[in-house]
Amino acid sequence: MGAEFAFKFFLLYLLLVMCVDGKGGARDDSQSEGMHGEPVHVHDHPSSHMDHMDHSLLVFFTLNDLKVGRTMPVYFPKKDPSKSPRLLPREDADSIPFSYEKFPYLLQFFSFPNGSPQAIAMEDTLRECEIKPIKGEVKFCATSLESMLDFVQGILGSESRFKVVSTTYLTESSILLQNYTILGVPKEVPAPKMVACHTMPYPYAVFYCHSQETKNKVFMVSLIGENGDRVEALAVCHLDTSQWSRNHVSFKVLGIEPGSSDVCHFFPEDNLVYVPMPTMSNNLINVM
C-alpha distances in Å from residue 83, one per residue of 10, 27, 87 = 18, 12, 12
In a domain, 197, yes or no: yes
| pLDDT value of position 158 | 83
In a domain, 146, yes or no: yes
Query: Of all residues in the chain, what percent carry a pLDDT higher than 90?
Result: 63
Question: Which conformational region is residue 38 in: left (phi greater than 0), alpha (psi within -120 to 50 degrees), or beta?
Answer: beta
| pLDDT value of position 285 | 43
How many Å apart are CA 111 and CA 201, to the nearest integer? Answer: 16
| pLDDT value of position 254 | 93
Question: Model confidence at 284, in pLDDT bands (50, 70, 90)?
Answer: very low
Which of 53-62, 99-108, 207-216, 224-233 has the lowest average pLDDT? 53-62
- Distance of alpha carbon 111 from its chain centroid, rounded? 28
How many Å apart are CA 14 and CA 165, to the nearest integer? Answer: 15
Q: Which domain holds residue 140?
A: 57-87+135-276
Question: Model confidence at 171, in pLDDT bands (50, 70, 90)?
Answer: very high
Question: Which pLDDT tens digit goes with each residue over 41-67?
Answer: 322 333 344 455 678 889 999 999 999
Nearest alpha carbon to residue 215 among 196, 193, 187: 193
Question: Which pLDDT tens digit goes with each residue over 71-85?
Answer: 999 999 988 777 888
| Mean of pLDDT over the chain | 81
In a domain, 174, yes or no: yes
Total of domains in the chain: 1
In a domain, 226, yes or no: yes
**pLDDT over 60 (residue 133):** yes
How many Å apart are CA 87 and CA 142, to the nearest integer? Answer: 10
**pLDDT over 80 (residue 278):** no
| pLDDT value of position 182 | 98
| pLDDT value of position 280 | 56
Which of 27-31, 87-91, 175-179, 251-255 has the lowest average pLDDT? 27-31
**Average pLDDT score over residue span 203-208:** 96
**pLDDT over 90 (residue 236):** yes
In a domain, 65, yes or no: yes
In a domain, 42, yes or no: no
Listing DSSP states for 199-226 in one string gives EE-SSS-EEEEEEESS-EEEEEEEEEET
Question: Do residues 181 and 224 make contact, with C-beta atoms less than 8 angstroms apart?
Answer: yes
Phi, psi of 97 (to 5 degrees): -55, 145
